Amino acid sequence: MPKFQAPKGMRDILPEDQVYWEKIKQVVKNLAKDYGFGFLETPILEEVDLFIKGTGQYTDIVEKEMYSLRTKGGDQLTLRPEFTPAVIRAYLENGLSRLPHPVKLFSLGPIFRYERKQKGRYRQSYQANFEVIGEKDPILDAQLIQLFFSISKDLGLKNLITQINSIGCSRCRPNYRRMLVSFYRSKKKHLCSDCQKRAQRNLLRLLDCKELKCIKIAENVPQIIDHLCDDCHSHFRSVLEYLDEMEIPYILNPHLVRGLDYYTKTVFEIWPDDEEGRQIALAGGGRYDGLIKLLGGKDMSGVGFAIGLDRMINLIQERSIKINTRTKPIIFLIQLGELGKKKSLKLFEELRRSGLGVASSFSRNTMQAQLKRADKMGARFALILGQKEALDETIIIRDMNSSSQETVPLSKVIAKIKKRLKK
C-alpha cells in the first residue's frame, strides 16, 4: 500500500483513459460551435454567497456538499459545486449582458461536491455546461435536449431517454405548495429525516427523495403538471411538441424537480434507457427565469443544462464502444548511433512542422525494436537515419507496406515524402 493516495472520492485519470476524454471534449467543442455557443472559463473558486444565493440556502449542495474555505485574507470561498451561478456571475460582471441576446455560453471543467462515492459519482467530477441567457422561447428548452442527443450520437451512445417535467413559476407554484402542505400534513412522521426538514423549507424536494418509504408516499401526491398556470402549461406543451417533431424519446416524470431553487418551468434529465442505467443521470437541466435578476441583473429568462462527462465515459466503456481519436503517423523516424540521434531531434521537429504526422522512439537503439514499433503504430513510411547516413547527409525512406527502400538527400526528404503521398 503506497504511503499517499488520492483523496476519497477523487481519482487519477490515467493515460489509457485519456483517449475517451480527448474524444468527448472534442465532440462537445465541435457541436457547441455548430450550435452557436461561445466558450467561457470561470474560476474553480467562487464566493460562498454566490452559491448560497444562486443555488438555494436549503439545497443539498449548500447544506451538505460544498467544499468551502477561508483564505488568509479572510475571504470565504468555495470550490464550485456547479456552473450556472458562476456563469451568470461572469455574464453580469464582464458586460456580456450588452451583447445581442440570447447569449449562448458553454464551459468545461471540474466541479466539487462532498457526497457519498458510488458508481459514476465522484467528489471531483467533470461537466460540460451549456447556458442560453435572455430568451424565453420554449424552442430553446427543446434545442438543448437536441444538443445532448447530437453529442451522444457522435459518441456512439444510443438507447437514451429524456425524463421531463414542468415545476411551474412564481404564479402557479405557491398554490401547488399549499396543496403539498395539505397532502403531507398527516404524513410527516413517516418521512425520512431529510424530508422532515424539507417539509419545513424546501417542499418540492419531497417529490424526488430516493428513500423507499418517501417514494411510496409520493406516489399519490397531486401532480404539479395538473396545476400549472396558462403560461407554464402553454410553454410545456410547446416543448413537448418540439421533442415530438424531432423524434426525441421522452417520458413525463411528475416527481422530477431537480432540487435547485432557481429552476422554473421545464426541468429534464437524460438517462440510459435500460434497467442497469437507471441509477444515475447522464445530464440534467432546465429553465431558470428568475436567476439573473436574483444575482443582480435584469429580469430575464435563461435555460441550461450540464453533462456529466465521467458518467458518459463510464457508459461508453460499459457498452464497449470503440473510441479512436489517435490518427496513425505517416512517418516513423528511426535513429541509429550517436550521430544519428543528434541529427534526428532537429529532423523530427522539421517533419512535425511540415504537417506530416511523425512518431519516434528515441530511447530505443536497435533497428528491429524501432521497426517493430513503427509497424505496431501503423506508420506508412519509416525514415532511417544511421551513422553513415548522418555523415553523408542522406536518409533512407522505407515503405512499410512493400519493405522497399530508397536513399535520398536529407535536405529533400520532406519533398520526397509529400510527392509519394500525392501518388
Tens of pLDDT, residue by residue over 200-222, are 877 888 888 888 889 888 888 89
Range 268-279 average pLDDT: 76
Q: Which residue has the cell 474560476?
A: 43
Closest CA relative to residue 82, chosen from 113, 59, 117, 52: 113
What element of type H or E holds 191?
none
* pLDDT band, very low/low/confident/very high, at 188 (cuts 50, 70, 90): confident
Secondary structure (DSSP) of 268-285: EEEEESSTTTTTS-SEEE
Q: How confident is the model at residue 2 (pLDDT cuts 50, 70, 90)?
A: confident
Q: Which three cell numbers stand for residue 371?
A: 521497426
Residue 115: per-residue pLDDT: 83
96 to 27, 46, 69, 105, 139: CA distances (angstroms): 26, 19, 29, 10, 22
Per DSSP, the residues of 242-266 read HHHHHT--EEE-TT---S-TT-EEE
Q: Are 166 and 227 in contact (CB under 8 A)?
A: no
Q: What is the pLDDT of residues 332-358, one digit of tens each?
A: 999 998 888 888 888 999 998 898 889
Tens of pLDDT, residues 15-41: 989 999 999 999 999 999 999 999 999
Tell me which residue has cell 421531463: 164
Q: What is the DSSP letter of 394?
A: E
Q: Judge whether residue 423 has pLDDT over 80.
A: no
Distance, in Å, from the CA atom of 17 to the CA atom of 273, rounded to the nearest integer, reads 25
User: How many CB atoms sit inside 10 A of residue 131's CB?
Assistant: 25
Give the pairing type, strands 67-70 and 76-79.
antiparallel
All three cell numbers of 293: 435578476
Length of the chain: 423
The pLDDT-based confidence of 278 (bands split at 50, 70, 90) is low
Judged by average pLDDT, the poorest of 1-5, 83-87, 143-147, 168-172 is 1-5
Average pLDDT, the chain: 91
Question: What confidence score (pLDDT) does residue 198 get?
Answer: 84
> What is the CB-side half-sphere exposure of residue 34 using CA atoms within 13 A?
13
DSSP code at position 121: B
Q: What is the pLDDT of residues 72-130, one digit of tens each?
A: 999 999 999 999 999 999 999 999 999 999 999 999 999 999 987 777 789 999 999 99
State pLDDT tens for residues 312-338: 999 999 999 988 755 678 999 999 988
- Confidence grade of residue 277 (pLDDT, cut at 50, 70, 90): very low
DSSP codes of every residue in 24-55: HHHHHHHHHHHTTPEE----SEEEHHHHHHHH
CB 202 within 8 A of CB 59: yes
Domains along the chain?
15-172+228-318 (3.30.930.10), 331-422 (3.40.50.800)
Mean of the pLDDT values across residues 352-366? Answer: 84
Residue 405 is which amino acid? Answer: Q
Question: H or E segment at 172?
Answer: none
- Tell me: the pLDDT tens digits for 221-245? 899 999 999 999 999 999 999 999 9
What does the pLDDT look like over 373-412, one tens digit per residue?
889 888 999 999 999 999 999 999 999 999 999 999 999 9
What amino acid occupies position 129? N
Say if residue 329 is preceded by a cis peptide, omega within 30 of 0: no
Instruction: Check pLDDT > 90 for residue 169.
Output: yes
For residue 147, name the pLDDT band (cuts at 50, 70, 90): very high
